[in-house]
Structure 1
Amino acid sequence: MIGYYAHGQGSGHCNYAQLLADFLQEKLVVFTDSLFKFKEDVQVVKLSDEHIDGTEFNRKLYREPQSLHYAPINLRKITSRNSLLLQSVLNFDVKLLIVDVSVEIAMLARVSSIPYAYVRLMGERSDFAHTGAYQGAVFLMAYFPKEMEMEDTPEWVIKKTIYLGFISKYLFKGQSTPKPQVYNNNKKIHILHLLGFGGTEAIKYNLDPSKFNLVSVGPGRTHNHEPYVTHMGVVDCTRAFIEHADIIIAACGSNTTSEILNLGKTFIAIEEKRHFDEHGKMAEALYSNRWALPLRFFKSLPTAIKAFESMAQVPSIPNGKKELIKFIIYLCANMNHIDRLRFAYPDRGVANIMTGIKNNSISA
């Protein structure tokens, strides 16, 4: 059994958990405090949240050690959730825990002798806590291709990382979707603004209503009341809106970025305020590969749109379909030999490892 700890912030972590559950099915159990609606057949252990409730000790007096990011003292619901997680690991006979993301859960796993893989996000993560979580992992995972790797990433981190590439629920696209009715005016340029579950900052559109039709999709509000703006709210599926949009504006979180790129589209990237400058580093890496255009490079949205429309042909966008399938096959084949996963470094390659184990040429 594989365990997957999905952080409750936003929906991205749970989307990745659901994607792996689609492949691993009964071989995967999810641990989360999120309200995300998983498919009915997914095994989910619902954890209590970690929010402070007044029972914790004064956090200004009892600050976190360098090895942890969030660890209030005397907050009993954290004690209870950790106890539930550990007992569930035993009950489900979890052989590997994928941590997406939490340095505290990573440390809990390591001191509890549970093999874990840590999901790397973009951003400045050379702090003591992240370094410890990386060091303690059996291996690291990245839901982005190696082309996105930051220049200052230590070589040992790169070698320990399995790059799955851009993966999302739209990885296996199938047939195209019908155009949404809100896009029916063929005389206008259709702009899609994706508003995420992780929080969205309002931007000023200031667009020509005779030229543009802007549609916003998601739980947030744009705070723009121009007549050419249609707010759809939360929709069952964003795919059709993404596929048929002429221009896409979206925050460059990992999941949203992967969904857009998996559908063969590029976009204007908005950098939301996130810890460790996650969106800033993501936007820079996307721009260097010409897969997105950061809005902050321009004075206004209209000037960004002009630059976007004049972009040269976009290079091919890699997706993680091949790597994900290899990874899933390897996990299933070695569920009882997780220690072998430490060999799955980029310089060896998952495919080579599978061949090596098949030929008994790799020892644990």
Structure 2
Amino acid sequence: MIGYYVHHHGVGHLARASSIVPFLQDDVTIFSSRPAPDRMSASQWVAVPMDTAWATHRDTGPDARGATAGGALHWAPTGVPGLTERMATIAAWIERHRPRAFVVDVSVEVSTFVRLMGIPLVVLAMPGDRTDAPHRLAYTLADRIVAPWSRTVYDPEWLREHADKTVYAGSISRVADRVSTGPRVPDTAVLMSGAGGSSLAAGYLDAVRAATPDTTWRGVGTPGEPWVDDVWPILDTAGVVVTHGGQNAVADVAAANAPAVVVAEDRPFDEQRATARALDRAGLAVALDAWPDPAAWPDLLRRARALSADLRTATEIDGAAARAAAAIESVAG
């Protein structure tokens, strides 16, 4: 048996687990504060209560008392029943099943708790500046670190001290095995927003359309545009894909090998900026630290269309989920 913790924010952590779990040989039990998905390749889904609202109470209010435990952790406030209940739920399951390994994507607190219960620990790494004390603790405690990106694209210095136990699996995409639906259509572009929150303003895409009359745009998840569950046909045929810098969005664009503009949204630890800048340095995408003025898009589209690098090969999409699963199994074994 393998335990697997999935963070509730956005859809990326769940999408990554959905790609990895089918390659695991053991039965898997997933823990998350997200609602259980309709389809999931896991033996069981265990709902754990929220440990209070991070964004609302992180810095103020009674729920934030002792939140960082003196800087040792990210979020462990005292006097919050949800936090106590979620750890008790995980502890009871571990005591009953004695799992061979536990995967955490992501939480310093769950990582520390699981390892203190004597269970082999696998931690999914995240891009950005992870040199703070809580992240260093989680990576030190881990028996294996899975970095879901290509080392040739992104090789952060802070992860090198853990090189002996780090597996760079490659970018993990839920559409890695999809078949092409047709030729790429020139003079088309897609602007793709995410479920984790965006700084895109209402009307931005309309302004971009006005600034680029020779390009036909489609919005996916952007303000005023519908959410699309299956993005593959759109990514596979778009002339240029504009996306935020979330790992799963970038991986899906890479799977389609689409000319890309990656715009970093504000996230803790500069997560998306690190990803975007790494892609830009490697010549794999046009990267921006914020959404630009609409008038900038004619030049940005020109630069993206001029890219010649093989984004899919460079990000090591093929086999990435299987490599991550093998790294987990090596700990469980």
C-alpha contact (below 8 Å) 1:195/1:217 kept by paired residues? yes
Q: 2:223 aligns with which of 221, 233, 249?
A: 221
Match of 2:322 in 1: 325
Aligned length: 318
- 1:177 corresponds, among 176, 181, 190, to 181
In 1, Cα distance between the equivalents of 2:260 and 2:94? 40
Give the match for residue 299 of structure 2: 303
* More deviation, 30-39/246-255: 30-39
Please list, as runs of the form range in 1=range in 2, the aligned pairs for 1:27-176 lying within 5 A after superposition. 27-35=27-35, 37-39=37-39, 41-42=41-42, 43-52=44-53, 58=62, 62-64=66-68, 65-173=70-178, 175-176=179-180
Deviation at 1:60, TM superposition (A): 6.3
Instruction: Indicate the larger mover: 113-122 or 326-335.
Output: 326-335
**Structure 2: runs of 5+ lacking an equivalent:** none
**Cα RMSD, aligned residues only:** 2.8
Percent identical residues: 21
Q: Paired residue for 2:268?
A: 275
Give the ranges of 4+ consecutive aligned residues of structure 1 lying more than 6 Å apart after TM superposition: none
Deviates more, 1:121-130 or 1:77-86: 77-86
Alignment-mate amino acid for residue 202 of structure 1: L
Q: Within the alignment, does 1:190 sit opposite 2:192 as a pair?
A: no
- By how many angstroms is 1:332 displaced? 4.9
- Aligned to 2:131, what secondary structure does the other structure show? coil
Secondary structure of the structure 1 residue equivalent to 2:152: helix
For residues 311 and 105 of structure 1, do their structure 2 counterparts lie closer, same or farther at Cα, with a shift above 3 Å needed?
same
Higher relative contact order (CA 8 A, sep 6+): 2
**Of the candidates 229, 241, 264, which is equivalent to residue 236 of structure 1?**
229
Change (3 A) 1:279 1:209: closer
Q: 2:200 aligns with which of 199, 202, 208?
A: 202
Q: SS at the partner of 1:215?
A: strand
- Which letter maps to 1:211? D
**Does the aligned pair in 2 maintain the 1:295–1:301 contact within 8 Å?**
no
Indicate how the Cα distance of structure 1 residues 21 and 260 shifts in structure 2: closer, same or farther if over 3 A, else same: same
Structure 1 residue 171: deviation in Å? Answer: 1.7
Alpha-carbon displacement from aligned partner over 1:81-116 (angstroms, at most 9, x marks no partner)? 111112122334321111101111111112221211
Aligned partner of 1:290 in structure 2 is 283
Q: Which runs of 5+ in 1 are unaligned?
A: 223-230, 338-364
Deviations for 1:64-93, whole angstroms, at most 9, x for unmatched residues?
Answer: 222100111110111111111121223343
Contact in 1 for aligned 2:115/2:141 (Cα 8 Å): yes
Give SS of 1:286's match.
helix
Q: Which is further off, 26-35 or 71-80? A: 26-35
TM-score in terms of structure 1 length: 0.79
Shift in Å, 1:334: 6.8
Cα deviation per residue 1:105-135 (whole Å; 9 max; x = unaligned)? Answer: 1111122212111111100000111001111
Cα distance per residue 1:7-50 (max 9 Å; x no partner): 00000001111112222376211111113625155321111112
Q: 1:38 to 1:108 in 2, by over 3 A?
A: farther
Tell me which amino acid in the other structure corresponds to 2:135: H
- Cα drift, residue 329 of structure 1: 4.9
